[in-house]
Amino acid sequence: MAHFDADIRRALQDTKEVRIRTEKHPDSAVVIWVVVAGEDVFVRSFRGDKGRWYRDLAEGGEATLEVGGRHLPVQATSAKDPASIERASAAFLAKYGPSPYAEAMVKPEVLGTTLRLDPR
C-alpha cells in the first residue's frame, strides 16, 4: 500500500474542505471533509451510506481529490477495522471539533462509511 507524501498529507490536514470527483460521476464534485492520522488519509460520509460519492467508492471505484489546486488520483479502501475507525474518529474530532457538525461525523451510523484513501 502506497501512502501520500508528507507535503500532500500536510496540505490535506491543513485544508478544511476538499472536493472529490468519482470516476462514476466525473462532472460532479462533492465537498467533503478529510483527515490525516499518521500516514493514513481518511474520509467518511456525513450522510452515511446514502452519500452518492461514498456509494461510488464503496463499490470499488476510483476518484480524484481536489486540494489546493492539485488533482490527486485516489483509490479508496474500506476501513472497517476498529483501530482505523477509532483513529479516523479521533482525527475528525481534533480537526473539526469547533464545528457543530463534528459530532455528526462520529455517530455510530456513519462509522461504517470510513474509507482510507491511497494514491493511485
In the chain, where are the structural domains located?
Answer: 6-119
Instruction: Please check whether residue 75 is in contact with residue 65, taking contact to mean a CB–CB distance below 8 angstroms.
Output: no
In one letter, which amino acid is 98? P
CATH superfamily of 6-119: Electron Transport, Fmn-binding Protein; Chain A (2.30.110.10)
Give one word for 8, left, alpha or beta, with left for phi > 0 and alpha for psi -120 to 50: alpha
The three cell numbers of residue 97 are 471539533
SS3 state of residue 49: helix
Task: For the chain, 120 residues long, give each residue's pLDDT as a single digit of tens.
Answer: 689 999 999 999 999 999 999 999 999 999 999 999 999 999 999 999 999 999 999 987 799 999 999 999 999 999 999 999 999 999 999 999 989 899 999 999 999 999 999 999
